[in-house]
Amino acid sequence: MTPQAEALGRARTAADLAAVIALLDADLSEAVASRQGLKQAEDRAILGDGDLAAARAALDDCNDRIAMLERTIAAAGTRRAAVAESEARADIEALAEEIEGKAALLGSRWCAVRRLVEELREELFDADALSRAIATANGLFDAAGLPRLKVSLAATRRAAMAGPRAAPPARLSRAGLAADRQLLSLIGTGGALDPRPALRAPVAGAVKKPKTQRG
């Protein structure tokens, strides 16, 4: 048994079979190249230069070897295609199992997101109620002539919202980016919970300077 035949028998993967086919192709090329010399030896033997029977036997052996190599390569190619298809199916099945696990994990993540959003809403409701109570008290302090007792809602909110923020991952979908921006708008300066006066709007307590006529 030739080394190529032994390797072909041991081959189990498409890569193994591809390597064996490459070796068989090299043997086939060598056999085809040697056949030309054997044909010339047969021609010389026909003209009386050499043993004609031996020349023809050598040429027949070479042709048999070429035919055997071609059949072996064809069979190995068919086997390699089948193995490659089987490996591809196995890869897809493994991917399906992996994705099934990720889908279950994704479901648990979305459940956690929903729970946190509901907790956030409850906290927002409580914070809004406290803000309204403080705003009412601030109005009473103004009416009583005691503005020093007022509590700055903006300063309280901004102090609470300060602190480090998680950096978004490098690869975040458009939907993820949009949701992240919406969440950050709740704690960012000038966001939904931190309204700012419109541009050129009058500021409370500011005194407008009278216009002077130029001479």
- Please, is 17 exposed, middle or buried when counting C-beta atoms within 10 Å of its C-beta (0-12, 13-18, 19+)? buried
Size of the chain, expressed as the number of residues it contains? 215
Domain coordinates in residue numbering, the chain? 3-98
| Alpha-carbon gap, residue 140 to 149, rounded angstroms | 10
Q: At what angle do helices 3-10 and 14-46 cross, to 10 degrees?
A: 160
pLDDT of residue 162: 86
Check: pTM over 0.85? Answer yes or no: no
Query: pLDDT tens string for the chain (215 positions)?
Result: 567 677 777 888 999 899 989 989 998 999 999 998 888 888 888 888 888 888 889 889 999 999 999 998 998 999 999 999 999 999 999 999 999 999 999 999 999 999 999 999 999 999 999 999 999 999 999 999 999 999 999 889 988 888 888 898 888 999 999 999 888 888 887 777 776 654 454 544 444 555 555 54
DSSP result, 28-46: HHHHHHHHHHHHHHHHHHH
